[in-house]
Amino acid sequence: MISIQSFLKYLEFEKRSSQYTIISYRCDLEQFISYLNEITIKDLEAVTKKDVRNWIVRMVNDGMAAKTVNRKITALKSYFKFLMREELIEVSPVEGVVTPKIPKRLPVFVRDSEMNLLLDKIPFSEDYEGVRDKLILELFYGSGMRLSELVNLVDEDFDIPQGLVKVTGKFKKDRVLPMYKELVDMVSDYIEVRKQYFGAERNLSFFLTKKGDNIYHKLVYRVVNKYLGLVTTLHKKSPHVLRHSFATSLLNAGADLNAIKELLGHSNLNATEVYTHNSFEKIIDIYNQAHPRS
């Protein structure tokens, strides 16, 4: 029987991959092993490039998105590379396999006017949940942090006198993000309100549920989805949309692309350059509206 446990331990303890990566890789590899069982392959050394290609074809024919297929192949490449390192196989059957092309999609973002309406005009309750929810929205839009980064925040991550917040991104890499004065004040106000509701003892998490437990991903997602639904008709209303909105707003205001890259925690500039397409779309709109011959 094919086992992936040693590989998952390698990801956790040597590569220091996030729990989300480990869970995702486990799922992908279990699906591949299930496929191998269907075609009666029990030995990893017997897997060929043709087998991998046939798996790709099956996933595509089943309607799976190219991005998802490619993610599964990335997991497979990493797995077989590990097996070669452990000298369990000699050749990787994934090497050189052509993967589906991913169609380019522009990041979805909320317009500045819509965010200003939400944060300045829409009333939030003055109880703990209202104060917390508004700060969550303001932190996403004001810093560009990821959902996982926000959920994992602790009190010590905030340097209120300096107006800074430290987040731990992908591959356990830390970065420090600036906060504007209004956001800093909101952080301070939130801490005071939290003390009133749950006492002054140290919490494991900066954000808490209304029962005082550590906040979790689905709750944050529901909060963002609920409030964005008040100001936008976008189909997708997620924390990542606010991250896109942060980057697009900075770029449209003339911010340097390299600076945006550092704020977002991107490992290379290619991931950040996608926002220039949104900026270019805005330029075209302005041209069409302003040019006398358009």
Q: Are 177 and 275 members of one domain?
A: yes
> In which residue are the tokens 């779309």 written?
281
Spatial distance between the Cα atoms of 3 and 118, rounded to a whole number of angstroms: 50
For the chain, the domain total comes to 2
pLDDT tens column, 242-257: 999 999 999 888 888 8
Q: Is 240 a catalytic residue?
A: yes
Range scoring the smallest mean pLDDT among 76-90, 97-111, 170-184, 215-229: 97-111
In a domain, 93, yes or no: no
* Residue 108: predicted pLDDT: 87
| 160: nearest Cα among 137, 180, 174 | 180
Q: Average pLDDT, stretch 199-209?
A: 87
Domain enclosing residue 72, as ranges: 5-85
Q: Are 69 and 215 members of one domain?
A: no
Spatial distance between the Cα atoms of 236 and 196, rounded to a whole number of angstroms: 35
Q: Are 134 and 232 members of one domain?
A: yes
In a domain, 126, yes or no: yes
Options 53, 71, 170, 282, the catalytic residue: 170
Spatial distance between the Cα atoms of 50 and 256, rounded to a whole number of angstroms: 46
Options 72, 146, 194, 237, the catalytic residue: 146
Kindly report the CATH number assigned to the domain that includes residue 227: 1.10.443.10
In order of 92, 94, 236, 241, the CA distances from 7 in angstroms are 15, 16, 35, 33
Q: Average pLDDT, stretch 198-227?
A: 92
In a domain, 102, yes or no: no
Q: Are 121 and 77 members of one domain?
A: no
Options 132, 237, 243, 261, the catalytic residue: 243
In a domain, 165, yes or no: yes
Q: Are 258 and 173 members of one domain?
A: yes
> In which residue are the tokens 């609920």 written?
226
> In which residue are the tokens 């099956």 written?
58
Q: Are 76 and 137 members of one domain?
A: no
In a domain, 95, yes or no: no
CB 82 within 8 A of CB 113: no
pTM above 0.85, yes or no: no
